[in-house]
């Protein structure tokens, strides 16, 4: 695969890359309000790869993301950018449709989350909600090596 080939799902290299990341940028838009870009961090693997075309990350009542969640509820189109500066400024761009789900609904839909003890270790509380993204396009822009 060339580094600029646009895929409709995450291949194995992309999935592995996401699982290592500790940060990403989330771009949202709202027709009457312009666009917003939010910086999101967590431990390695805070963004879960649920399937080749589905990503999700937990939210813990963080007020700094309230605007992004409101944007997603009005307009579900999002773009994610994962950057690994340490390995040569590698970027993974993901565009798709987002949805905000409460924690109970997410755990009913994805039973494996109930077996993940790391979800209960963030400030000794469970996530309040999850943001899921259905992947429509993904591509790598890299100055370094992805693997």
In a domain, 2, yes or no: no
How confident is the model over 12-32, as pLDDT tens digits?
A: 999 999 999 999 999 987 667
| N- to C-terminal Cα separation, the chain | 13
How confident is the model over 44-68, as pLDDT tens digits?
A: 888 999 999 999 998 877 665 666 7
Range of the domain at 99: 12-141
Dihedral sign, CA of 41, 143, 135, 32? positive
In a domain, 146, yes or no: no
- The band of 72, judged by pLDDT with boundaries at 50, 70 and 90, is confident
In a domain, 4, yes or no: no
Residue listed under structure tokens 């290592």: 20
In a domain, 29, yes or no: yes
Residue listed under structure tokens 């429509």: 136
The β-bridge relationship of strands 54-59 and 48-51 is antiparallel
Structurally, the chain folds into a number of domains equal to 1
Would you call 86 helix, strand, or coil by DSSP? helix
CATH of the domain at 25: 2.30.110.10
In a domain, 37, yes or no: yes
Q: State what percent of residues in the chain have pLDDT above 90.
A: 47
- pLDDT of 1 reads 45
DSSP 19-40: HH-SEEEEEEEETTTEEEEEEE
CB 31 within 8 A of CB 75: yes
């Amino acid at each position: 695969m060339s580094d600029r080939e646009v895929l409709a799902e995450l291949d194995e290299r992309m999935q592995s890359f996401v699982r290592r990341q500790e940060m990403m940028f989330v771009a949202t838009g709202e027709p009457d309000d312009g666009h917003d870009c939010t910086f999101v961090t967590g431990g390695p693997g805070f963004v879960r790869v649920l399937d080749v075309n589905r990503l999700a990350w937990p939210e813990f009542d963080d007020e700094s993301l309230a605007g992004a969640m409101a944007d997603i509820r009005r307009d579900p189109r999002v773009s994610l950018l994962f950057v690994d500066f340490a390995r040569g400024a590698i970027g993974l761009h993901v565009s798709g449709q987002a949805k905000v789900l409460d924690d109970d609904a997410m755990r009913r839909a994805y039973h494996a989350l109930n077996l993940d003890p790391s979800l209960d270790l963030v400030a000794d509380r469970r996530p309040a909600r999850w943001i899921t993204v259905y992947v429509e396009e993904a591509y790598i822009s890299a100055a370094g090596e992805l693997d």
